[in-house]
């Protein structure tokens, strides 16, 4: 992996024409607590992979012990309201991931707590090791989540379970997280990266315009009326009939061969 960053490691992996950008959070002594430098570097790496035509998918992960155990409390504790507001605490660099148009898979092992859980929920879908534990324990610190926890968690697991987790600070294990819909699948810890990279490689083999539009439309479904989302979906469905990949995909199906997408 590359060590050009201080708080993350990056690598390009895969055997196909389009490859996977792998980002690993790397503050092991702090259980990958999310400080400004890490979030700045994460944003830079995400945008670099998003701009790279050779990358079809991104995988974001941490360590075996922790995806990320939360925000960096020692750097946050001295703030008062005005300094937090003026500095854009959390808000200024935490949502770069939401600007990424390519699919982002979160591969979670160990703790994903507080800001770590919020960052995980910003990924497009999560594959969890059986060791994963999710939680929003901010109430123990006399605060609340500040990076979308009160908004994304109810959308993922429903109101009652979200209220339970937010108000009692209890952690959710991987089995419960899958049952509640927070993660897409649970795998043995020693197979986590194999499964995540295999999912990414499968995505890499599909047409890039299709994968990007699916991501955009699924996210749209959480933002507006169902009828509006369906109307936009239908228009994008029509638009893809002007792509080379649509002609190749349907032609390959009719000719009973594997398609060779050109991502245009």
Which two structure tokens, joined as six digits, stand for 167? Answer: 């108000």
Is residue 105 within a helix (H) or strand (E), and if so which, with residue range?
strand 104-108
Active site residue 138: yes
Distances (CA, A) of 80 to 14, 83, 89, 94: 46, 5, 11, 20
The catalytic residue among 41, 138, 178, 195 is 138
The catalytic residue among 115, 116, 148, 249 is 115
The catalytic residue among 45, 66, 68, 71 is 71
Is residue 236 within a helix (H) or strand (E), and if so which, with residue range?
helix 226-239
In whole angstroms, give the CA distance from residue 252 to residue 254: 5
Q: Is residue 63 exposed (0-12), middle (13-18) or buried (19+ Cβ within 10 Å)? A: middle
Distances (CA, A) of 213 to 99, 106, 131: 14, 19, 33
In whole angstroms, give the CA distance from residue 67 to residue 141: 20
Q: In 3-state terms, what secondary structure has residue 141? A: helix
The catalytic residue among 118, 178, 195, 201 is 118
Query: Residues 47, 53, 59, 61: is their CA dihedral positive or negative?
Result: negative
Active site residue 17: no
Which two structure tokens, joined as six digits, stand for 158? Answer: 């429903």
Name beta bridge partners: 111: 66, 133
List, by residue number, the catalytic residues: 71, 115, 118, 138
């Amino acid at each position: 992996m590359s060590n050009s960053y201080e708080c993350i490691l990056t690598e390009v992996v895969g055997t196909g024409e389009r490859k996977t950008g792998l980002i690993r959070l790397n503050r092991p002594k702090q259980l990958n607590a999310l400080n400004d430098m890490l979030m700045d570097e994460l944003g830079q790496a995400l945008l670099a992979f998003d701009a790279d035509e050779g990358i079809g998918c991104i995988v974001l992960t941490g360590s075996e012990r922790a995806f990320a155990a939360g925000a960096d409390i020692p750097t946050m504790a001295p703030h008062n309201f005005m300094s937090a507001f003026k500095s854009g605490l959390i808000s200024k660099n935490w949502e770069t991931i939401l600007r990424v148009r390519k699919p982002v898979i979160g591969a979670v092992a160990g703790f994903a707590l507080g800001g770590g859980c919020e960052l995980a929920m910003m990924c497009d879908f999560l594959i969890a090791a059986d060791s994963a534990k999710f939680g929003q324990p901010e109430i123990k610190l006399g605060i609340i989540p500040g990076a979308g926890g009160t908004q994304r968690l109810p959308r993922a697991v429903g109101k009652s379970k979200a209220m339970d987790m937010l108000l009692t600070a209890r952690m959710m294990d991987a089995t419960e997280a899958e049952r509640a819909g927070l993660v897409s699948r649970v795998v043995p810890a020693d197979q986590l990266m194999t499964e995540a990279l295999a999912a990414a490689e499968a995505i890499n083999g599909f047409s890039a315009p299709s994968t990007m539009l699916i991501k955009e439309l699924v996210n749209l479904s959480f933002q507006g009326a169902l009828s509006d989302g369906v109307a936009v979906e239908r228009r994008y469905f029509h638009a893809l009939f002007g792509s080379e990949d649509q002609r190749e995909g349907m032609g390959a199906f009719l000719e009973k061969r594997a398609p060779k997408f050109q991502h245009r």
